Structure 1
Amino acid sequence: MSLTDEEHDQAQAPVPVLPLRTTPGHLIRRSQQVHTALWTQEFDGEITGPQYALLSALTTTSIDQRSAGQIASLDKSTAADVVARLERNGWLARERDTVDRRRYILSLTAPARTALRHITPRVAEVQRRLLEPLTPADAEWFAGALARIAYGGEPPATPDGADAAFALPLTSAPGHLIRRSEQLHGVYWANRVGSSVTPPQYALLSAVAWNDDIDQSTAGELASLDKSSTTDIIARLTRRGLVTSRPDPTDRRRKFVVLTPEAREVLERVTADVEAVQRDVLAPLDAEDAERFVALLQVIAYR
């Protein structure tokens, strides 16, 4: 059975593993899912978060495609795809750099500037709803702390001439900052944990470790995974010999997920590194602020 919040706080897992409800990296990923759901409710495919981020990066000046992608926190491939889509929609103009012919300079078109006037208030509403569970004072403090987390220190200054009514500055937009924080968490994870286990795999192993008699569906929910991802991860962990299953004696259609001895060895080996990753995430904050940040992040992630 899965633990209640109070029981979880008082319990101890039988193997070294972090509890998901207090693990910053997991809370950031779950908060990103919340933001994505709110964005989808508002825009329903009309414009994506990465597309808006790239448009926002171009509101004060024309810049090259690589720089725009970096400001929008997009990798090279994703930036190229976003630029292509926006160009097809007539929202971006792309011209060869007269100094370096290998580069393209991007600029907003008149239709894009007109559209942003209508889109930005809706984006601001998504950000408001994301932080809605917090008091106004906590929301303001949290946004500032989140910016330091997202940039690994003080965020860049808002560009001169930026107009929040026209396009939200990315350095203070909570949804963008959460996405950037998740990316940074991935970098820390790769540096310390490597490829032995991924964050979603660790989350699922944690969910199983903390709960006896847990089925696949419940384990996925606790690990904040959708049904398809849960099925895929369970299959991968099974092939690696890290989990197995046993039938529920009361319901033959249901199977419990069980950690193998090999999984326990993996968790014993990597959990100290996973803890170090969480310290990396919170490094821009002092101990008191880090504790407050995690508490507020929990409220957003588990609204």
Structure 2
Amino acid sequence: MLQDRLGYLLKHAQSALAAHTAAALEPLNINGRELAVLSVLGAAEPLAQQQAATRLSVDRTTMVDLVDTLERKGMVERRSDPADRRRNLVHLTPEGEKTLAEGNRRYQEIERGLLTESEADDLKRLLRRLLANAES
């Protein structure tokens, strides 16, 4: 039966999660992809766009568009890399840091509304195993 196929379930679960996420993030003027970019940029030392693109598994053109959009919204800024003036590092602005914190809070609230903490941990563990098995 179609509804028992893993691909079908994953696709529809992701679609439902994306819809809930979009509604929760809309008041912050960001979407789920932009939250992911803010998360990567806010998690470590400043990164070049290409480094962030690699971590998110998106192509360079998409990453440029995402950073351009976040820059227009005042959430990130590009600054010259002091170690290599030919490249720019992308930094969160204070507005970006505030949006990231609130976006993460809202995202976690959505997850808690859909699954218990234990269920979410189990699902994430199984999905990581699926990805690892698919890559080997």
TM-score w.r.t. length of structure 1: 0.40
For 2:64 and 2:131, how far apart are their aligned partners in 1?
23
Instruction: Report matched runs for 1:173-184 at 5 Å.
Output: 173-184=5-16
State the 1:266 CA deviation: 1.5
Q: Provide the TM-score with structure 2 as the length reference.
A: 0.84
Q: Does 1:231 align with 2:34?
A: no
**Cα distance change on mapping 1:187 and 1:296 into 2, 3 Å:** same
1:275 pairs with 105, 108, 130, which one? 108
CA distance in 2, matches of 1:265, 1:193: 13
Q: Quote the Cα distance in structure 2 between the aligned partners of 1:241 and 1:248.
A: 20
User: 1: CA distance between counterparts of 2:5 and 2:55?
Assistant: 27
The 5 A counterparts of 1:129-208 are 169-194=1-26, 196-208=29-41
Counterpart CA distance in 2 for 1:288 and 1:269 is 23
CA change 1:265–1:180 in 2 (3 A) is: same
Of structures 1 and 2, the one scoring higher in RCO (CA 8 A, sep 6+) is 1
User: How far apart are the structure 2 equivalents of 1:300 and 1:250?
Assistant: 39
The aligned residue for residue 83 of structure 2 is 250
Amino acid at match of 1:242: M
Aligned-partner SS, 1:255: strand
Residue 295 of structure 1 is matched in structure 2 by 125
Deviation at 1:274, TM superposition (A): 1.1
Segments of 5+ residues of structure 1 without an aligned counterpart are: 1-168
Give, in angstroms, the shift of residue 287 of structure 1. 4.2
Distance 2:58 2:69 in 1: 14
From the two aligned structures, give the one with the greater helix fraction.
Answer: 2
Deviation at 1:191, TM superposition (A): 3.2
Rg (Cα) greater in structure: 1
Separation of aligned partners in 2, 1:208 and 1:223: 10
In the alignment, the residues of structure 2 paired with residue 271 and residue 216 of structure 1 have an alpha-carbon distance, to the nearest angstrom, of 21
Per-residue deviation, residues 81-111 of structure 1 (Å, max 9, x unmatched): xxxxxxxxxxxxxxxxxxxxxxxxxxxxxxx
Q: Tell me if the contact between 1:200 and 1:223 (Cα under 8 Å) persists in the aligned partners.
A: no
What are structure 2's unaligned runs of at least 5 residues? none
Backbone CA RMSD of aligned residues: 2.0
Percent identity of paired positions between Structure 1 and Structure 2: 25
Q: Using the alignment, how far apart are the partners of 2:55 and 2:130 within structure 1?
A: 16
Q: CA deviation at 1:231?
A: 1.1
Letter in 2 for 1:204: V
